[in-house]
Each structure stands twice: as structure tokens, then as C-alpha cells.
Amino acid sequence: MSIFKTITQDNNSKARTGLIEIRGKQYNTPMFMPVGTQATVKGMTPEMVKACGSAIVLANTYHLWERPGEDIVFKAGGLHKFMNYDGPILTDSGGFQVFSLAKPKDIKEDGVTFKSTIDGKKMFLSPEKSIDIQEKLGTDIMMSFDECPPASATHEYMQNSIERTLRWAKRGKDVHKTDQLLFGIIQGGAYEDLRNYSAKKTVELDFDGYSIGGVANDGESKDDMYKAIEYSIPFVPLDKPRYLMGVGDPIDILEGVERGIDMFDCVLPTRLARHGNAFTKTGKMNLKNAKHKEDFTPLELDCDCYTCKNYTKAYIRHLLMCDEMLAGTLLSIHNIRFLIKLTENIRDNINSGTFNEYKNEFIKTYTKE
């Protein structure tokens, strides 16, 4: 049974609006999904996140396995109760940790061995273990366990990696026994033949949705990211959601939607906020800049977020200069709302047949010096 249906298909691109059904409720796409790696969107309460218009939020299997442990979350009644978020939750499989923590020699057929980021102890993660953890967490969408090779990987290494990821995907799917949705992950770097192959073979395993991985690691260029989407999308069924992992730059969201992507996630909005930066229609704004010291206007005059309705640039800059944690919260609220509002505007313009004009005008304004 399909969980996705297209509402409007853009006439000039692969952009589309749709509905994804999760546990009997429907959610609009394209969508941006805030990231709560440790079962919290940094600096924000669940009520704040939902007030920004969020639907799905993310958490990370590896980090929650490491601390507090999946059994603790299970005893708490599942991740929704543990973190007090009543909307859908998606968990990454831990596959990115393969890329970031393990050495090539530690990646074997049975799984991956690496050292804990907390105490250095040896840890082992396999496709079966990843599914088991995610099932205990009780999230709504689980990700298949994959290897995430660096952009510099050779064609030969990438091909062998894809074959292993496909075997891992089947092993994970074979032990999946709950009603949680399970997405497969397409890999292949910027190699057209490997992206084609990975997409075809992953689709043959018949997952609930498909994500395009390996585009948000260190080393990928924007062109490689766009190529990865273009090489993968033609092989993904129209009645399945398409998810671009780890991407949250506004222009990349627009470019991804144009190429057929439905779902995006990224830590970027909260990370930028913690460093004193805000998304605006004219590009990123550094609130630490002295010119904002006596600027008693909101971050954006027409923004409908809580921060812009109640606070000024001067006040937020004051908080930053005093190292007050409220600064990061207020900027996170704005940045997350900015990206969610962007996807709302994208949906409106696809539905009205004006997506191309909207995309071009947004990029022109956003990148204007």
C-alpha cells in the first residue's frame, strides 16, 4: 500500500506537491524536517517547534543508542512520550556514523565497529541492530542502515559499497516486524551509472520511501549533489516519497524540489542560530555585526515567526554579546520557520503553476550582493 500521492505536478520540472500518510494522518510535501539528534531540537521545546509549522522531526539512532539507550526510551513509552513530541518522528539509521567514525578496515560484511564518541569504548552496529534499536525507539519512519562513502571514493570502492549497502538493506528489511515505515537509501556519489544501479536495485527491495544519501558529506560540490538527484529520481516510483538527506540550504531546497524531491532535513538552521546567524530573503544575516546595535526592527518585517513578532535585531544582538542562551533559541525559531515557510511557499507556487518564477526570483533576491 502506498503512503504517498501526488497532488500537483509542475509542468516545467519534476517539482510536485503531495501528501504523505503516516499512521492515518496526512502531511503536505515538499516539507522541511527540523533535526533533533538527541531527541531535542537544540534550544527549543516541542511546542516551539510545532509553532513553526513542523510535521516530521528527526532523531538519530546512533546517538540515542549510545545515550540514554534504546531500552530507556522503550521503558519511557517510546520516543514520542520521552521527548513529548506528538507529531511524526523519523530516525536516521546510524549509517552516517559509519562515514564519520569508522575506519575503512572496520567496515565489514556483518556490520561496523567504531569507538564511542563519549567514552571511547568499542561499539558494533549492524543492519539488524539498527532496525532493532529503531523499533524500540518507536519512531514513525526508520531508515535502512547504509554505508556512506566519502565524495573522494573511487568508482570501484563506491560500487563495492553499494553492493554491501544493498545486502544490508535486505537484511534490515528481513528483520523489520513493526508497522513503522522503512525507507531505503540510494548511494553512488556523482557516478551516473552507480546512482542508476543503486536506485534500481533499492527500489526492487520495495521500501515505503526512498532517500538519496551521500550528498551532505564533506567534499561534495553543489553540482555533484544535483547530479546525484538527477541520476536517482527517474528510477523511484511516483507513488513513493523522495527524501534528500541532510540538506537545508534554501537554494538547495529549491533546486531539490525542481528535481523531484519531497522531503528535506538539516541541522543548519539551529547551527547557524547558535553562531548568531539568521536566514533572510536577502541571504544570511550576522546579528553580531555592530550595525544591528541600534536596529529596533525585526529580523524580517513580513516574517510570521514568534521571534519576529516580538523581538528586534538590537535585542537579539544584545543577547549574543552577553552570551545569553535565549539568543540561540530566538534565532532557531526564526531559522526553522524560515525554511518551513519556504516549503509552504514552494507548495503554493507549484499548485498555482508559478514555481519556476518563484524559484528564480527567490534565488535572485537571496544571492543579491
Boundaries of every domain in the chain: 4-266, 268-369
Please confirm, yes or no, whether 110 is among the known catalytic residues: no
Q: What is the pTM of this model?
A: 0.97
Choosing from 10, 86, 92, 110, which is the catalytic residue?
92
Strands (E), the chain: 4-9, 16-22, 25-29, 31-34, 57-60, 89-92, 112-115, 122-125, 141-143, 181-186, 209-212, 242-244, 263-266, 277-280, 283-286
Strands 89-92 and 4-9: unpaired
pLDDT > 90: percent of the chain: 89
Catalytic residue among 10, 132, 140, 265: 265
Q: Among 15-29, 93-107, 342-356, which is the least confidently predicted range?
A: 93-107
Pairing assessment for the beta strands 16-22 and 4-9 based on DSSP bridges: antiparallel
pLDDT digits (tens, 9 = 90+) for 87-111: 999 999 988 876 777 787 799 999 9
Share of residues in the chain with pLDDT > 70 (%): 99
Measured on CA atoms in the order 200, 111, 182, 55, is the torsion positive or negative?
Answer: negative
Please give the Cα distance from 313 to 68 (Å, whole number).
37
Letter string b/e over residues 86-123, b meaning 16 or more CB atoms within 10 A of that residue's CB: ebbbbbbbbbbbbbebbeeeebeeebbbbeeeeeeeeb
Q: pLDDT digit string (tens) for 142-198?
A: 999 999 888 889 999 999 999 999 999 999 999 999 999 999 999 999 999 999 999
Average pLDDT over residues 212-236: 91
With a cut of 90, say whether residue 262 has pLDDT above it: yes
Confidence band for 218, pLDDT divided at 50, 70 and 90: low
Give the pLDDT score at 195: 98
319: left (phi over 0), alpha (psi -120 to 50) or beta: alpha
Q: Is the pLDDT of residue 140 over 90?
A: yes
Q: Which one of 3.40.630.30, 3.10.20.440, 3.30.310.10, 3.20.20.105 gives the CATH number of domain 4-266?
A: 3.20.20.105
Mean predicted confidence (pLDDT) in 47-60: 98
Least confident of 151-155, 156-160, 255-259, 309-313: 151-155
CA 69, CA 66: separation in Å to the nearest integer?
Answer: 6
What is the SS3 assignment for 194-263?
Answer: HHHHHHHHHHHCCCCEEEECCCCCCCCCHHHHHHHHHHHHHHCCCCCCEEECCCCCHHHHHHHHHCCCCE
pLDDT of residue 212: 97
Among this protein's residues, is 146 annotated catalytic?
A: no
Question: 80 falls in which pLDDT band (50, 70, 90)?
Answer: very high
pLDDT of residue 242: 98
pLDDT tens-place string over residues 271-294: 999 999 999 999 999 999 999 999
| pLDDT at 368 (0 to 100) | 86
**Looking at this protein, which amino acid is placed at residue 93?**
S
Among 6, 22, 41, CA closest to 333: 41
* Secondary structure class of 316 (helix, strand, coil): helix
- Is the model's pLDDT at 219 over the cut of 80? no
Mean pLDDT score, 244-260? 97
Q: What is the pLDDT of residue 101?
A: 77
Task: Give the per-residue pLDDT at 187.
Answer: 96
Confidence at residue 116, expressed as pLDDT on a 0 to 100 scale: 87
Mean pLDDT score of the chain: 96
CA distances from 241 to 29, 30, 124, 228 (A): 9, 10, 30, 16
